[in-house]
Amino acid sequence: MRILFVFGFPPKIGGHYKSALAILKTLSYNGHELYVAAPTWPETGLKMFAPARCIITSVSQLSYYYPFFNLFAAFRIIRECRTNRIDVIHAQDFRCSPPCFLAALLLKKAFVYTKAGGPVNENFPPQNVETVFYSQELVDGMTRRYNISKDNISLIKARIDLSCFGQATVTQLFLRKYGLPIARKKIVMAMRLAKQKRPWLKAILGLAMKMNSQKAYADIVVAGDGPLFPDLLKEVDRINAKSVNGRFLHLIGPVFDIEEMNQLYNYADLVVGHGRGILEAMACGKTVVVLGEKGQGEVVHQGNINEVAECNFSGRHLRNKAISHGELPTLIFDLLKDDDTLQTLGIFSQHYIKTQMDAEIGARQLVGVYDKALIRDNSWKAFLKWYTKVSFNALSASLKYRLGLS
């Protein structure tokens, strides 16, 4: 099968791209021919997608802000499809979905749309189109809010590349490169340092300050890059300056190499965060604590794994729990004191990923979605109805923002 994956944003380090890459690699190794289009390709994106053995192309029109203008990207997508005899056009995000859907209609090709993560919002998929969601939260929310038929929806959770993430030896070269200590217990968080991640970063800083005040020392390592990096570095320096036991909070910047990312998780005794990062850590046999938007934390274990997974490991399930952010330090301190519990939870973590989240499983499920899309007739009526509504939603949201109403 020849498949064109399309991204509406330049690929970079992040959970959505790494999930797509895991599926791409598996499809490629199973004999499918893969083509990937995006507005532009930064060096990190090119390096990241190289193992998938896919043909990469740039479609600059995809960078036009939705709505209206990025529809012109449909003509470039059509050219790619004709040149490479594409069977399925797979839109990987909402921004690229209108030109992809239009190209599929004009060419009478199969069309699939993925909404990978995030809460339910105004960006909903078209009716009568094969749609992939990564969480039950999105399946339930989208069907309830937009009356989308469940016959058109596929839940595909399995997206961890076990050839990249698993138990491994941590090398001295890696430790020296990032200046990592080894004497104490180690807590790791890996996260994009974007503004929307501020609540989770605030939680880890709060943990560090509590640890400092109680002199309950472990080393906390935060990996990531983004707009918040300069401000976070100042906070890290301020907290370390008050430590009587030396530097214990470490901001190491981005870790772009996947092998090094795997070593970072293996280096940890405990991993905290949310989203794909804790899934990768679980693949390495690590105990993980999922963080909520208000700084709450909960250990992931057999008793709560289904509700954690239902919200895509985002921590949104904690909205409905009476857990205070003030309980997080005690939870962490108690875990770090109990090696037997860390080991038991680590064994559970690795078993769960191998049996439920292996990208091999997800790739097989996705081929089934493609088979359904190949026999489905896409409708101009459905496209025009959907596009008119989402365009109105986008214009309305933009107007409210400009008027200061949102």
Kindly list the domain boundaries of the chain, sorted by start residue. 2-162+359-402, 172-357
The Cα-based distances of 60 to 41, 75, 99, 214 in angstroms read 10, 12, 12, 53
Query: Same fold for the domain at 2-162+359-402 and the one at 172-357?
Result: yes
Q: Could you tell me which of 185, 202, 213, 223 has the C-alpha nearest to residue 13?
A: 223
Chain segment 93-128, per-residue pLDDT in tens: 999 999 999 999 999 999 999 998 888 888 888 888
Give the percent of the chain with pLDDT over 70. 98
pLDDT at 406: 61
Q: Is the pLDDT of residue 68 over 70?
A: no
Rounded distance between C-alpha atoms, residue 129 and residue 236, angstroms: 47
Q: Which CATH superfamily is domain 172-357 in?
A: Glycogen Phosphorylase B; (3.40.50.2000)
Chain segment 241-277, per-residue pLDDT in tens: 998 888 999 999 999 899 999 999 999 999 999 999 9
Task: List residues bridging with 288 in a β-sheet.
Answer: 271
Q: Domain 2-162+359-402 adopts which CATH fold?
A: Rossmann fold (3.40.50)
Q: Is the pLDDT of residue 238 over 70?
A: yes
pLDDT at 399: 77
End-to-end CA distance of the chain: 45
